[in-house]
Amino acid sequence: MSYLFTSESVSEGHPDKVADQISDAILDEFLRQDPDSKVACETLVTTGLVVVAGEVKSKAYVDVQSVARNVIRRIGYTKAEYKFEAESCGILSALHEQSPDINQGVERQSPEEQGAGDQGMMFGYATRETDNYMPLALDLSHRLLRELAAIRKGGKEMTYLRPDAKSQVTIRYADDNTPEAIDTIVVSTQHDDFDESEAGMLKCISEDIRNILIPRVKAGLSADVQKLFTDQITYHINPTGKFVIGGPHGDSGLTGRKIIVDTYGGKGAHGGGAFSGKDSSKVDRSAAYAARHIAKNLVAAGVADQVLVQVAYAIGVAQPVGLYVTTYGTTKANGSNSLLTDGEIADKVNKLFDMRPFAIVQRFGLQNPIFGETAAYGHMGREAGTTQVTLANGETRTYETFTWEKLDYVDKIKAEFGL
């Protein structure tokens, strides 16, 4: 019997994502000036106010007000009527020195023996159901909001759009876990107040979502996924009827409150640690990226159709306390007499991937100021690219982004697994 699975996403103007983006922008500014910066930056946003708090060890000086206002302006909160506006909102900074008790567990005389910045377990997940090895429901949820933001910033269609928005997609799966159809799409978007009635306003928004947004999203999808858009989809568009008050004025926002949106939409698992505002010594972030890289390369190499990787650390200790792999019974790789067990796959992964924090940082270039782009529309499943950054000394450098999404270990995995 078929079953339903649902994932959601939120836009860059959602209050929690505003907070995430400010935290990561501040992190990037510290790293731009001092790549050895240790940063744990948390942000609160509410009506007319931004509060930044956290712990930092760095040689850099960061103008928190300027960084935060630039982020808020870029997102689109530029009108006084939003009750949260880039030029006029108050910004309070309560950043202070990182605890030396934590720092002595992280920094070592030998950089290779750098300890984990915290204890905990991190997960990485990948599935063959999309081209980017992400769960389909989450991938579509992200695409809806990225395209909605592009329409809003383009300023030619749906000119009533405001920055805050949420999406949700429900997929119907067959018994063999392959997507059969899209069952339900939910889109709630903040908008200007209309002169016409609430019913007329809702009708206009609903028609624009169906006739402008959905076709633009479909155009960027593979033919197989386009077929899942049928006439039987149930749409819930601004189901409360009105969404004028939104953003940090409608609801306070906090860094790290959208960790499922940031990762796999409820598929796989999550260890509970947030990403934004944390430098790469915090394995909550760096090891989660490394686990995603392992899972994605395993699936791409043909080891299994679906892979979950868990890695766990003790604070101040370089080597993980454990690494776990499950393929949900989808293993394709053969051992000497039968299909490899998940434990045997984990043993081979341990041979191929150095999961000490220093090695992870070096593998993905995580001391570079590349994190701002991760803070909205997901940290995983994004296309690896580049960004140009002007350093404190005036030098311009090009850095790779989303390096953990590269399929650069496929050949090594195939050789190790005999594929």
Q: DSSP letters of 196-249? A: S-HHHHHHHHHHHIIIIIHHHHHHTS-HHHHTT--TT-EEEESTTS---S-HHH
Instruction: Enter the pTM of the model.
Output: 0.95
Instruction: Write phi, then psi, for 389 (nearest 5 degrees).
Output: -130, 135
Which contacts qualify for 148-155: CB closer than 8 Å, 24 or more apart?
Answer: 148/11, 148/187, 148/189, 148/213, 149/11, 149/12, 149/13, 151/212, 151/213, 151/216, 152/76, 153/76
* Residue at token pair 């081979």: 348
Question: What's domain 3-10+135-248's architecture?
Answer: 2-Layer Sandwich (3.30)
The two most distant CA atoms of the chain are separated, in Å, by: 72
pLDDT tens-place string over residues 41-67: 999 999 999 999 999 999 999 999 999
Strand-pair partners of 179: 173
Q: How far is CA 226 from CA 130, 176, 181, in A?
A: 12, 20, 10
Domain chopping of the chain, boundaries: 3-10+135-248, 120-127+282-417
Task: Give me the chain's average pLDDT, please.
Answer: 94
Share of the chain above pLDDT 70, in %: 96
Domains 3-10+135-248 and 120-127+282-417 share a fold: yes
Lowest mean pLDDT across 66-75, 94-103, 319-328, 357-366: 94-103
Question: What's domain 120-127+282-417's architecture?
Answer: 2-Layer Sandwich (3.30)
* Residue at token pair 């392959």: 178
Pairing assessment for the beta strands 322-326 and 90-97 based on DSSP bridges: unpaired
Report d(CA 334, CA 349) in Å as an integer: 15
pLDDT at 217 over 70: yes
pLDDT at 105 over 90: no
Nearest to 88 by CA among 101, 98, 100, 73: 73
pLDDT tens-place string over residues 225-276: 999 999 999 999 999 988 999 999 999 999 999 999 999 999 999 999 999 9
